[in-house]
């Protein structure tokens, strides 16, 4: 009897040791692996279990022949089958899974902008490696974030690097501290590049090996930082955006409500080079300009400047114009009219916008949710944009001249335009005779086919008016693009973060520059999402909470009191 107990204890001890070894394997360190005691527990457990089973072989043989034992084996077999099915389902779900993000703004999901960038990586077969120089205690959280990118693109990989154990890797990417993230694009050596043979047997100085990668490091592990780093490492050419100056335009540097520093900063994040342009000094738009921005000039441009801008557009230029109701009627407006735009002097009034007073809405700040069918606005359905003090902007389709246009945004029913307004005691007054009912278009995009638009004699002279003597840009010179909005405030620092304003202006910039992959919805910031109620809705909520609910409680209490008195 004691001998049999010894065998049983050996089997139990072997199982316990194997379980301890399994726990050691599950809790192993990512870098150092499983500890030695785990290996020892597994080895000793296998030996002890084997000894106990061998010594109990006669008892096991007799036990197998019993009916109760066979029934137990059948139950155990069914359990194994069920567990196996669950394990297979789990293994399949690891590679084929779907996550639901129910948070407001989808903060735990990648934005459409990032998904477009990752899709472009798969399309162009460009490999990206993300190196995380992170302390061991922080790796689980970082891993959860980076796995979102590897699930979406086969071209993205990531790995953790120990700064102390891999000093050569840290030196290669110029990393000197933990908390650094490096995005690396490996592009390899160019095919067909042959090494030059030494002339006359003379020894040539060893040349530095050309870089086979581009890297970008940052310290803020956010979706914007990772997406922008991928853009900077995969794009070979940096596109240049010029802000026109010299006519009282909005500044793109500095601080203030009317400044466009956030717009310029967003452009830099999307790998644009931003600079200012004084046309009369440069005597033309530089050839490296991918986009010219004209932001609410208070004075009209000169005749020579109008010629420079027209020559730039006629050689395939791209221009974003942000006007105000007070913008002067002159050469700039006349130039835009040549390309199909209609820009009458006007103020847009939307009485229904008063219901959005909690977020800045008023008669002169229309809220827009109606958009045209265009690449700029195709993903903005359900989003609102606000335009403080706007004017009417529309454009015509002129197929014979090669001009195709599309309305980008318009106000809702009940809105209208007037030629001028006066404000006294916070009340807007205007001449009813100049009223023109809406909806009112506030922005338009025009594409010009230069082969049809330009006269035959001008096609050979497209390069006239170029300035700076720089290299010609690589953009398509057979097509020009212009986007005009009747408001500049919506793109200023005071309003660019409101509603969908940022998406609309950045989508316009990227479409104009030919970066269609970036024309999407940008990541949202974690800000409050206020519940905006109309006047009737506010009155109903107040009546329900302040009046009806307390009265219901009082009547219910009275009914219970009366019923109890009756039962006594």
- Do residues 483 and 444 make contact, with C-beta atoms less than 8 angstroms apart? yes
| Burial bucket for residue 321 (CB in 10 Å: 0-12, 13-18, 19+) | buried
Q: Report residue 267 as tokens.
A: 């452009």
| Burial bucket for residue 503 (CB in 10 Å: 0-12, 13-18, 19+) | buried
- pLDDT, residue 406, reads 94
- Answer whether residue 460 shows pLDDT above 70: no
pLDDT digits (tens, 9 = 90+) for 81-124: 999 999 888 888 776 767 777 665 566 678 777 888 888 888 88
Q: Across residues 282-293, what is the average pLDDT?
A: 91
- Going by C-beta distance under 8 Å and a sequence separation of 6 or more, which residues neighbour residue 262? 493, 496, 497, 502
- Answer whether residue 568 shows pLDDT above 80: no
- Do residues 406 and 443 make contact, with C-beta atoms less than 8 angstroms apart? no
Distance between CA atoms of 203 and 201, rounded to whole angstroms? 6
In the block, residue with structure tokens 């209490």? 557
Q: Which of 485, 496, 479, 441 is nearest to 320 (CA)?
A: 485
Q: Is the peptide bond before 439 cis (omega within 30 degrees of 0)?
A: yes
- pLDDT, residue 360, reads 64
Q: Across residues 261-281, what is the average pLDDT?
A: 90
- Per DSSP, the three-state class of 313 is helix
Q: Across residues 172-178, what is the average pLDDT?
A: 87
Q: Across residues 164-187, what is the average pLDDT?
A: 87
Name the average pLDDT for the chain. 82
- pLDDT, residue 471, reads 43
Task: Read off the pLDDT band of 263 (50, 70, 90).
Answer: very high
- Going by C-beta distance under 8 Å and a sequence separation of 6 or more, which residues neighbour residue 136? 29, 30, 31
- Do residues 526 and 107 make contact, with C-beta atoms less than 8 angstroms apart? yes
- Cα 413 to Cα 156, 351, 387, 441, 446: the distances in Å are 48, 10, 16, 12, 25
Compare 568 and 88 and report the one with higher pLDDT. Answer: 88
- Angle at the Cα of 175 (from 169 to 178), degrees rounded to 5? 105
pLDDT digits (tens, 9 = 90+) for 344-362: 999 999 888 776 665 566 7
pLDDT digits (tens, 9 = 90+) for 217-245: 888 888 878 888 888 888 777 889 999 99
Q: Across residues 518-531, what is the average pLDDT?
A: 57
Distance between CA atoms of 138 and 145, rounded to whole angstroms? 11
Strand pairing partners for 274? 241
The DSSP-derived string for 481-529 is EEEEES-SGGGSTTTTTSTTHHHHHHHHHHHHTT-GGG-SPPPPPS---
Distance between CA atoms of 363 and 354, rounded to whole angstroms? 6
Compare 295 and 382 and report the one with higher pLDDT. Answer: 295
Q: Across residues 410-439, what is the average pLDDT?
A: 88
- Answer whether residue 180 shows pLDDT above 60: yes
């Amino acid at each position: 009897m004691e001998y049999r107990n010894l065998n049983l204890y050996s089997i139990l001890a072997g199982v316990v040791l194997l379980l301890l070894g399994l726990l050691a394997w599950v809790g192993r360190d990512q870098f150092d692996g499983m500890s030695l005691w785990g290996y020892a527990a597994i080895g000793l457990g296998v030996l002890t279990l084997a000894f106990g089973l061998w010594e109990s072989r006669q008892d096991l043989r007799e036990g197998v022949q019993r009916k109760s034992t066979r029934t137990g084996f059948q139950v155990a077999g069914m359990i194994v089958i069920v567990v196996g099915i669950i394990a297979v389902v789990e293994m399949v779900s690891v590679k084929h899974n779907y996550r639901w993000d129910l948070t407001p703004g989808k903060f735990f999901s990648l934005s459409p902008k990032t998904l477009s960038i990752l899709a472009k990586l798969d399309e162009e077969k460009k490999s990206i490696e993300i190196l995380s120089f992170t302390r061991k205690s922080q790796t689980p959280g970082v891993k959860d974030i980076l796995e979102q990118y590897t699930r979406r693109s086969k071209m993205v990989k990531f790995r953790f690097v120990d700064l102390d154990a891999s000093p050569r890797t840290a030196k290669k990417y110029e990393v000197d501290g933990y908390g650094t993230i490096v995005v690396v694009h490996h592009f390899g050596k160019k095919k067909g590049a042959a090494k030059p043979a030494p002339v006359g047997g003379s020894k040539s100085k060893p040349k530095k090996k050309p870089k086979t990668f581009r890297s970008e490091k940052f310290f803020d592990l956010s979706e914007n930082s990772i997406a922008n780093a991928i853009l900077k490492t995969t794009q070979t050419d940096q596109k240049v955006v010029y802000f026109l100056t010299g006519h009282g335009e909005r500044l793109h540097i500095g601080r203030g409500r009317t400044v466009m520093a956030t717009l310029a900063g967003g452009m830099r994040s999307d790998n644009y080079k931003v600079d200012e342009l004084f046309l009369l000094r440069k005597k033309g738009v530089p050839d490296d300009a991918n986009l010219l921005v004209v932001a609410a000039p208070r004075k009209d441009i000169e005749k020579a400047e109008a010629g420079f801008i027209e020559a730039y557009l006629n050689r395939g230029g791209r221009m974003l114009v942000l006007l105000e109701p007070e913008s002067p009627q002159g050469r700039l407006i006349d130039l835009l009219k040549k390309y199909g735009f209609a820009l009458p002097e006007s103020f847009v009034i939307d009485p229904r916008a008063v219901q959005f007073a909690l977020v800045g809405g008023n008669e002169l700040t229309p809220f827009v949710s109606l958009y045209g069918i265009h690449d700029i606005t195709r993903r903005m359905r359900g989003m609102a944009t606000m335009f403080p003090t706007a004017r009417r902007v529309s454009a015509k389709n002129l197929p014979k001249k090669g001009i195709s246009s599309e309305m980008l945004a318009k106000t809702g029913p009940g809105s209208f335009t007037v030629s001028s307004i006066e404000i006294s005691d916070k009340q807007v007054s205007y001449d009813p005779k100049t009223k023109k009912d809406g909806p009112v278009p506030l922005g338009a995009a025009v594409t010009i086919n230069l082969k049809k638009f330009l006269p035959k004699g001008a096609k050979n002279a497209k390069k006239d008016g170029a300035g700076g003597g720089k290299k010609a840009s690589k953009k398509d010179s057979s097509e020009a693009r212009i986007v005009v909005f009747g408001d500049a405030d919506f793109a200023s620092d005071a309003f660019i973060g409101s509603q969908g304003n940022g998406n609309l202006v950045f989508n316009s910039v990227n479409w104009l520059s030919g970066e269609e992959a970036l024309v999407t919805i940008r990541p949202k910031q974690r800000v409050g999402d206020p519940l905006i109620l109309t006047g009737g809705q506010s009155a109903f909520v107040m009546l329900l909470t302040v009046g009806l609910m307390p009265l219901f409680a009082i009547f219910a209490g009275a009914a219970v009191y009366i019923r109890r008195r009756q039962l006594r």
